[in-house]
Amino acid sequence: MFALTCISANEDQTPSPANKLLVRTVASSEDAFAFCSDGQVRVEYRISELQPHIRFGTWKMDGDSIRIRWTQEKGGEPVGPPVSCGSVCVYKQYNKFQRDIDQTEELSWNEIKQNQHQHWDIQSFAGNCNAMP
């Protein structure tokens, strides 16, 4: 007896986001999640009044859910009045910051792979999740 399984070209069978860069673009935001195979993760908030704005943490799969625990945040906080404002304001000067945080986030791996709303772009990632991008 033979069983045939058909997989469409659009159906990604990747079991987890390990070694992937997942870029979420929604309205006026773009967030780039880098998932390393050692359980480390970072996100770069590319459109933010904090410049740069990066979070670091750990991730694990729980069924279809990607569970993230953010433990550190780094970036630059704006100083003084804005130079210009669009979707976010831009400032002449930013003060560097680094702080410990304890926040959680959950993403649906199936929703990301299916990408029905065209919010996600999945790319290969071979970088270091503990380093600034």
Whole-angstrom CA distances from 7 to 3, 100, 126 are 13, 43, 26
Specify the pLDDT at position 8.
Answer: 39
54 DSSP β-pair partners: 44, 74
Contact status, residue 17 vs residue 41, Cβ threshold 8 Å: no
Task: Please give the backbone phi and psi of residue 110, each rounded to the nearest 5 degrees, phi first.
Answer: -65, -45
pLDDT per position as a tens digit, 42-79: 999 999 999 999 999 999 999 999 999 999 999 999 99
pTM of the model: 0.85
Give the residue-averaged pLDDT of 109-121: 93
pLDDT tens figures, 95-113: 999 999 999 999 999 999 9
Whose tokens are 């694990």? That residue is 60
Helices (H), the chain: 109-114
Residue 83 main-chain phi, psi, to 5 deg:
-80, -40
